[in-house]
Chain A
């Protein structure tokens, strides 16, 4: 299944409370993803919480968008990505 980097912008900043409500919100995202066969692998968030970079596995960019729509998450850009591991090159020349 292809892997995608999904960029999302939150101009007012993304705040997820660390309480049952926050937990519920996160699990809701996971449930919605499942209906589109999309898996949220992990995310990176900027210091100002205004932007996230999310790694997703999914069947197509359309599935990523549908899943985001169900959870009401913004999608600013989707790129298809693959792993580039620096250690892969260690020793490759000698």
Chain B
């Protein structure tokens, strides 16, 4: 019987009913260990009729979890219809799609269970995100249990739950502690005081039942209660219990008897005592708390021995579950076996996208590096470094690379040395650590150039070109990419061709002729699309979007970024989506569409993006700049934080924050304070071939009075204004579509230009700059200065606000939402809100009706 769980059960059934009608959901069952999550889910599953299919899986408490363990469980269930689900060489995304299809293409509803999410590997978390975001349109209910008290701020489950809980189709069910009434009911035939029981157990269901099963006085902890209960068993059946305790999930009955050296009768005795439960085939503990209590209470020698026996058992069965083999090898303290199994488990984990687990396996193997041949250890270190780099443990990764490099130097293995020093192209983390890798790359080039042209040499040139491109050194980048092309051609390596062309296009966009660069990049994107290579296509779109944005080619940047967001969302590439949106925010900011900029920036999820920095840097710098230009609070704290972050990144990612901070100082009349930030950035900009870095950083240097005119090679609109031609600058900004910059240029002109600037600034709600211009006009003795934006009061015909009236007039003029958003400088979301408010106030449901009713009530007469 499940006490005090009726409402939770009811809720589970309600969601199942909804799923059977085609709207599925993700249910997160939370509670501390022993709260009764599993009992609740079992109770639910047992109450289901045969018309519901149940598929169950779990995450295991292994030293390092097996990647995608629940998916293996689904595949192993003969009734699941997912028997071919997992395969070593199958991309994870394909497996996820198969499960989704299973949930969608079914007549009867499916309840899918994943227990103990707090032990999930990264791949399983990816699965959860994938299914969670798409389950709404399916006949599935995915029920997941997890210990909420063990999911702290650093836990990898935390950000995933944070995102999923925002979805309409996700619901969190908390299993509460038992109340005094429930405990009183349970303890009615026992000599315990229910109040004592409550205060000792805090209402933890497992603890309460464990104590009620004990015969003596109150134990001090749940562990003590479990161990006391086991110690009352006779010797052989206790050995059975101990054997089962080293199996992380369950143990086959025959195996348990073998391991324990006991008979099947002894197994029965153990079962009868209620410590273990069985399903006719496997034995397991009633609860993981009990299992770990028994395992931890084992004398070390006995524990090692049992793990060793488990290992032998698995080896006899020719198990390929390397994660489990490695787990027992580690627990048995068998170094040789750890070295044998952990690297294989690591490679398997890396292949399924579980990079944290992969790193943990390689680290476990390298714990015993002294037992491995040095060249083998070096190879493992390079593998470990790649995994550590992906999970952003860069310092640790670099340390491993250093150790490997050190060995290759000592052993004079030049080939391996060069290959280790040239990072693989997908190891962006190594490329971004530019300063440190330049030397290593140089050493590799020296070695490789002395030999015949090779694929490694082509790759080294390409990596070098990539690095120069990131630092916006156009001449160096172009030289190296040309060398990469020649070398690849001469050794007949076609594998790098796409990357070479992509890089050539990107270099042209950011530091060369952006017209031809855009053509080349668009072509590479198209080629990747035709080849069905989604990762390449996304990379090309990102380069077109961020590079195009940087040189203010919004016409190509915006569609590329929007497409990249679509692809990224479809493939659950959260980091990519965050970075792309941060660029859409930056562009919206430059177009003076503040609301859109804020909307995009707020979608740059801090939890997702913190690892890579540049999404946060771009997004939040933009938010700080919007606040600066609107005169809102919170700008300086945000920009200070971003300026600090910019120091660990390339100039291309940092100059937005630096210029924003300088602009804020300038608007507050403390321009000179910006100089300390601007000077080093300006020096750096002059070492690049980036016109826009020279232009914008130079512009603020000029505003502050640190330089008299434009630096050579500054982007045209900035250069014109610095040269004193405010009128041509204003025209150039108008052509590009940047009204705020246009107004800044006009503000440098005479009275009539200043009044035009003021009109724009008022319309944009850019108060600090508008105040500045008003001040200048007053100083010039201008008498009729417009008061600034005014809004009418709250009542209008049909109760519409004046903004809604404006929107309605535009609707009547045939404008769509996008045109209205352009016309009124408000975001599309806000337009949609106004339109729906208009509909509801007028009691209509279409644009046509709205126009007719509006005419009837006379909204146009005013």
User: Judging by beta carbons under 8 Å apart, are B598 and A25 in contact?
Assistant: no
Among the listed stretches A38-46, A57-65, A85-93, which one makes contact with chain B, having 4 or more residues with CB under 8 Å of it? A57-65
Give the Cβ gap from A80 to chain B, nearest Cβ, in Å.
Answer: 4
User: Judging by beta carbons under 8 Å apart, are B595 and A66 in contact?
Assistant: yes
- Inter-chain contact total with CB atoms closer than 8 Å: 70
* Given A62-B602, A71-B801; A76-B793 close (CB under 8 Å): no
Give the Cβ gap from B606 to chain A, nearest Cβ, in Å.
Answer: 13
- Residues of B with Cβ closer than 8 Å to A? 595, 598, 602, 623, 626-627, 630-634, 765, 767, 787-795, 799, 801-804, 826, 830, 833-834, 837
A9: B residues at CB distance < 8 A:
788, 790
User: Judging by beta carbons under 8 Å apart, are B830 and A75 in contact?
Assistant: no
Q: In this complex, which of A9, A62, A71 has the most chain B Cβ atoms within 10 angstroms of its Cβ?
A: A62
Q: List 8 A-B residue pairs with CB atoms under 8 Å apart, sorted by A's residue number.
A: A9-B790, A10-B791, A10-B793, A62-B602, A62-B623, A69-B826, A73-B791, A74-B791
B802: A residues at CB distance < 8 A:
72
* Given A62-B602, A77-B767, A80-B634; A21-B801 close (CB under 8 Å): no
- Residues of A with Cβ closer than 8 Å to B? 4, 9-17, 21, 24-25, 60-62, 65-66, 69-80
* Given A11-B787, A14-B793; A72-B801 close (CB under 8 Å): yes
B623: A residues at CB distance < 8 A:
62
A11: B residues at CB distance < 8 A:
787, 790
Give the Cβ gap from B3 to chain A, nearest Cβ, in Å.
Answer: 37
B830: A residues at CB distance < 8 A:
66, 69-70
User: Judging by beta carbons under 8 Å apart, are A77 and B634 in contact?
Assistant: no
A15: B residues at CB distance < 8 A:
793
Complex Cα distance A11/B801, Å? 17
Given contacts A65-B632, A72-B794, 5 further A-B contacts (CB under 8 A): A9-B790, A10-B793, A25-B799, A72-B801, A74-B789
Taking a contact as CB atoms closer than 8 A, the residue among A12, A62, A70, A76 that contacts B792 in the complex is A12
* Given A10-B793, A61-B634; A76-B767 close (CB under 8 Å): yes
Q: In this complex, which of A16, A21, A61, A65 has the most chain B Cβ atoms within 10 angstroms of its Cβ?
A: A61
A61: B residues at CB distance < 8 A:
627, 630, 632-634
Who on chain B is nearest to A16 by CB?
B794
* Given A12-B793, A15-B793, A69-B826; A75-B633 close (CB under 8 Å): no
Taking a contact as CB atoms closer than 8 A, the residue among A24, A70, A71, A80 that contacts B633 in the complex is A80
* Given A72-B801, A72-B803; A21-B791 close (CB under 8 Å): no
User: Judging by beta carbons under 8 Å apart, are A77 and B795 in contact?
Assistant: no
B793: A residues at CB distance < 8 A:
10, 12-16
User: Judging by beta carbons under 8 Å apart, are A78 and B790 in contact?
Assistant: no
Complex Cα distance A16/B793, Å? 8
B826: A residues at CB distance < 8 A:
69
User: Judging by beta carbons under 8 Å apart, are B795 and A25 in contact?
Assistant: yes
Complex Cα distance A61/B830, Å? 16
B794: A residues at CB distance < 8 A:
16, 25, 72
User: Judging by beta carbons under 8 Å apart, are A69 and B787 in contact?
Assistant: no
Complex Cα distance A4/B793, Å? 22
B803: A residues at CB distance < 8 A:
69, 72
B595: A residues at CB distance < 8 A:
65-66, 69
